[in-house]
Chain A
Amino acid sequence: MEMPAPDARILARKSRVVERLQQVLPHNAVIHELSETRAYECDALTAYRCAPMVAVLPANTQEVSEVLRICHQEGVPVVPRGSGTSLAGGALPTADCVILGVARMNAVLQTDYDNRIIRVQAGRTNLSVTGAVQAEDFFYAPDPSSQLACAIAGNIAMNSGGAHCLKYGVTTNNLLGVTMVMMDGSVVEIGGAHLDAGGLDLLGLICGSEGQLGVVTEATLRILRKPEGARPVLMGFDDTEVAGACVSDIIRAGVLPVAIEFMDRLCIRTSDTFANAGYPDCEALLIVEVEGSEAEIDAQLARIIEIARRHNPVELRESKSPEESAKIWLGRKSAFGAIGQINDYMCLDGTIPVSELPLVLRRIGELGREYGLDVGNVFHAGDGNMHPLILFDANKSGDLEKCEALGAEILKLCVDVGGCLTGEHGVGIEKRDLMWHQFSRPDLEAQMAVKDVFDPAWLLNPAKVFPLEASQPRRQAAVAAQ
């Protein structure tokens, strides 16, 4: 993955930049020795690494504003970083950049149960937002797999989803307001505790902009009352196509489960061996979870099971207790870890129309055989968000490149059947150069024009999202203007 060459003029200004940053931040919040900046050399896309010139850890909006004002004046690119859990390289530094980490901004500013909102500093982790309100039986709905570690700032940047978004939506559907610092250091307030922010929907625009429009320092989030209960049913099928048809029938029947998860044979076997979940030996497995009172859960599961029976399942296992629920989820939740135990893998994130599931699974199998690499499939079936896992050997020369080429083919396939390159991980550097497959030049120009408005100098996370060739004239012009 190519990144722009560092600007020698910026590197030459390093000591001045460090000095200026030290004037506005506590000493331990400015990290500039190579031995320490290395800690920020990559995110969860670990195949690509580059230590930044400097990393800063501001503690509040004012400090973020000072940092950005200085970087703007000095013409230094800034790469915002949440908790560094991006699978797309969203927080990958360049050697001439300042990494702006939000980890020290993790306070809860306000909880308001009457209005069902929480206001937090954006560095707070996803799970600890729920942690702050769970004593009152409330929760924050978006639940990315990395929720123990990932920050709200990164969730907003990538518009993160999770297993339960079929019912509760993704980050953008649960975000009511932000305080955001623009690249020139000015601070803007958008939205608040009311349900619809006024004027143009800038909140919707910022969510998912991958840290390219501004640095969000505080966020107002919707919190919801926990349902009375939740229980899953597990179903096994001999045919992935039949499992796909079953998903579609459940949705059509008017039941709206909170999650519908799908695993294929490779993932079933690997995670079963790893976690001893007692999964059946079959081609496809669905886990469907519903919420409500005990009686409501029973009634919904009965409807779902009735639909499933028409598709001749090889196994139907309805959970009757928290222990049984945990056992059903165990294998699914340990799927990534289980595969990681036996192999290196690359996790893709394309979304497809649910109706194309059988075709796409068949083609992925064929492509895997062509490339000589195994691909496992585990994903959110209710919304078509696939997570193909390509197994490869990082120590084998050429295997990573082969894996990336296969990944690109699979993502193009997702686009070709009416889907998209990424459902919840973001573009980052990983899918940057595949954007041409989904968008025309005018489509991309319209998006880049938005960045022109928010960050005319193209200093915020500049080499991400857009194909380098497409963004080059703008990045070049910004450098020339300095």
Chain B
Amino acid sequence: MKTARDEDELAETVAAACGPLAICGGATRGVDLPGEVLSTGGLRGVALYEPGALTLVVAAGTPVAEIETLLAAQNQQLAFEPMDHRPLLGTTGEPTIGGVVAANLSGPRRIQAGACRDFLLGVRYVDGGGTVIKNGGRVMKNVTGYDLVKLMAGSWGTLGVLTQVSLKVLPRPETQATLRLSGCDMKQAVRAMSAALGSPFEVTAAAFDPGVGEVLVRIEGFADSVSYRGGRLGELLGAFGGAAALVQAAESAAIWQRIRDVAPFAHQPGDVWRLSVRPSDAPAIAQRLNAEALLLDWGGGLIWARVPEGTDLRARAGQFDGHATLVRADAATRARLGMFHPQSPLLEKISAGLRARFDPRGIFNTGLMSSLQTQDA
């Protein structure tokens, strides 16, 4: 394994590499890739944190936990609520902010606050030739040149090795509450979540656990506001049948950590898939999956499915608007089915073109993102 102490050393390492490199943050996602491991773990530390400007600039290898502690001390947070994969995948290691950004990890609050990529203000990265590139910056509004910041978010290290990221942070709400609506089937649940999300009450998360038939709707903010909105939402959702109960503060937070980390699937057998869909399509798609267990987040727009090992879930899902990612499976299944959803030939061509420009030698994370390359891995 190669590590670098700083950006310059990392750039030299990349320039001198003569074979594939497997870029690694905290190694919590259990993806094995060919080539020598290049760790960003040595790039740590906060370069700048201005609570009054809601801005954080941090080295890519900095642990997420360290950042969350730092922000919490100022009553702020990473509003996109990144998932911790360790419970689901049974991995160890320490999630890093670079890893979060590289996978564009966004939790339940994505439906209201935005995804990781929406909070990413700037990046520094090392390209495939070992050159340091910067894009974006540390300010909230920036349209100067092309937005490579978004491109780097969710590129899984295939276009460059992130060395530094700038993030917009947000105030941590004073309190939260969750409305639990029991006795729903999936169709009712998605309708109820759509009604909640289409209300003026600023719902910050909406999930459905079919195992217990329970819709969960979160509201956050100042205490008086949460109490008011909780009441109004209770009236609104009463129309969908079932009994509604309001759960406060810490108990509410625990619910959403479980949803964020897909905890119901931890220690349960089988492969785990993640599907991004049009929310109203979710019930029909979910039915076709014939899964052992399901969990819906994002008002139905995100389906987590647990299926027997080796199941080709994309074949079961058939044609739909969206995509399915294989999150937990053994290496053979990953190689056979591919982690990422195949794209249209034209999109594949554009993506391959970008990859060839950013990493002309094709050394970064070979076997990730492109469906063709995944087959070879």
A contact set with B: CB distance below 8 Å = 112-116, 137-138, 158-159, 161, 165-166, 169-170, 172-173, 182, 186, 188-190, 192-196, 198-205, 207-209, 225-228, 248-249, 251-256, 292-293, 295-296, 299-300, 351-355, 380, 383-385, 418-427, 431, 435, 438-440, 442-444, 446-447, 449-454, 465-466
Contacts and interface: CB of A to CB of B under 8 A. Distances in A.
A398 B116 CA distance: 47
A355 B171 contact: no
Contacts of B137: 418-420
A207 B147 contact: yes
A204 B117 contact: yes
Contact of A354 (B53, B74, B200, B358): B53
> Which residue among B134, B198, B225 has the maximum number of chain A CB atoms within 10 Å of its CB?
B198
A205 to B, nearest CB: 5
Given A199-B340, A201-B154, A205-B146, A383 B104 contact: no
22 contacts: A188-B347, A192-B322, A194-B277, A195-B301, A198-B343, A199-B323, A199-B341, A200-B154, A202-B350, A209-B147, A255-B171, A296-B224, A300-B222, A351-B139, A384-B141, A435-B144, A443-B135, A443-B145, A447-B135, A447-B148, A451-B146, A465-B146
A254 B170 CA distance: 8
B321 interface: yes
A116 B322 contact: no
A443 B52 CA distance: 29
Nearest to A213: B146
Contacts, number: 249
A188 B350 contact: yes
Nearest to A248: B52
B301 A254 contact: no
Interface size bucket, B side? 35 or more
Interface string B155-197: 1001100000000001111100000000000000001001001
A384 B139 contact: yes
Contact of B347 (A170, A190, A296): A190
Contacts of B278: 115, 192-194
B350 A453 contact: yes
B232 to A, nearest CB: 8
A383 B139 contact: yes
B139 A256 contact: no
Given A353-B139, A427-B144, A449-B358, A198 B340 contact: yes
B312 interface: no
A225 B200 contact: yes
A256 B325 CA distance: 35
A228 B51 CA distance: 29
A339 to B, nearest CB: 22
Given A173-B118, A296-B225, A446-B358, A195 B143 contact: no
B298 interface: yes
B146 A450 contact: yes
Contacts of A161: 141
Contacts of B139: 351-353, 383-385, 418-420, 423
A444 to B, nearest CB: 7
Nearest to B155: A200
Interface in B241-271: none
Interface in B107-157: 110-111, 114-115, 117-118, 127, 131-135, 137-151, 153-155
Contacts of B199: 225
Given A199-B343, A354-B53, A465 B279 contact: no
